[in-house]
Structure 1
């Protein structure tokens, strides 16, 4: 008993089944879904214990303020923490003049109205700085799929136009290769032109702190595909 081995399809076209290779591209501009801000909380004391107590108190105050915004906050993370001595010359030696403490927080918000208010309230706290916002899309944003579908449609349209220029028509899809579909800025990283602000101030009531009017920065989504089709024999005599 013998088994017929399928004949492999050649990777090139033939006069009977010519191939056409094209690239489809799409670029969309969409509204951001997430805004990220970075917060640095500082403290200073004449001894390590005092600096640490002050830092703990300020950190708790900022965490409480951020968490008070509920569902508007999608993510709250603590980054680096440090207590550093400040040295000064004293005679022939050195002595510790003070201790400086710092805690870094990262906050992601989905409610951009709350973003402006929270940013200014944090900036109004003593020895606390805030920078951002940095706008982005979620990795699973529907905008990425929309761009990929548009790139595929553009590839089909381009191939069809090539075939029609030869008096032929597309017959079958041979290959579709995804060569990239991503935002111009990686998720959570600063986008070109993103607003950055750094503010130090005295603690004040929220009612007396004006909210910043922040305009979301539109995000650019790219997608590219390579596509290969077979087409009917062209009419080269027309």
Structure 2
């Protein structure tokens, strides 16, 4: 016959979901908000070409795309990521006549670049915008997904939850006993990273400037990022004397 199990100790008994007079619970939230400098700047470049002949349009588009890529690559490590997202060649049909007559061909190449050197950003965006039939959108400022700022915000949220729970326990002349649950309740859609966007176009040359004169680099001010973290923590505490 199997021996009877030892009586359960109060320390190893599962806690009631909502606490008891002998084991009261306390539930708090901890929040953190950080404002930090961005780590990445993203720009979108659209290279365009237009012509009456399809092959000539494609050749011109290839040449302009190569110029833009070469310009981006001259900045070396400042450009951390470079990718071509789409290429299109679209015929423009004539509006008159019964037949389908192509009036012109339009070509577009979309390039995305991410930079870590914000000093080179103004010079690069100005040089790109000065290229013929080239559009530059951005910059969009952001943080890396594994940025230490996210970890710092989460730690601060946990510390605030513990501190808040201790203050409630001290208000009852008691102390916290154990942590029951810690839940990450932050919603990234509710607190997105702050992003700003602007469009830069080819700067107008000043009167009297020669064709080889380069425009002055744009002065771009980085947008500080807002990081949010929130946790819900549930503790047990020693029974207060009410």
| The two structures share one fold, judged by TM-score above 0.5 | yes
Task: Choose from 47, 72, 79 the match for 1:41.
Answer: 47
Q: 1:160 aligns with which of 148, 159, 166?
A: 166
Q: Secondary structure at the match of 2:231?
A: strand
Partner of residue 25, structure 2: 19
TM-score, length-scaled by structure 1: 0.90
- Does the 8 Å contact 2:45/2:110 carry over to 1? yes
Greater mean alpha carbon deviation, residues 12-21 or residues 143-152: 12-21
- The separation in 2 between residues aligned to 1:72 and 1:217, in whole angstroms, is 18
1:82-137: CA deviation from partner (whole Å, max 9, x where unpaired): 00111114543331111110000000000001111100000000000000000000
1:229 aligned to 2:241? no
Aligned to 2:157: 151
What is the match of residue 185 of structure 1? 192
Q: Which runs of 5+ in 1 are unaligned?
A: none
Structure 2 residue runs without a partner (length 5+): 206-210
Q: How does 1:105-124 map to 2 (within 5 A)?
A: 105-124=111-130
For 1:71 and 1:226, the matched residues in 2 are separated by: 41
Q: CA deviation at 1:171?
A: 1.3
Deviations 1:36-71 (A, max 9, x none): 000000001111100000000000010000011000
Give 1:126's aligned residue.
132
Q: How far does residue 11 in structure 1 lie from its aligned partner after superposition?
A: 1.7
TM-score w.r.t. structure 2 length?
0.88
* C-alpha deviation, 1:211, in angstroms: 0.7
RMSD: 2.1
| Alpha carbons of structure 1 residues 3 and 88: separation in structure 2 relative to 1, 3 Å | farther
1:125, 1:91 → 2: CA distance? 36
The one of 192, 199, 202 aligned to 2:201: 199
Report the CA distance between 1:9 and its aligned residue.
Answer: 2.9
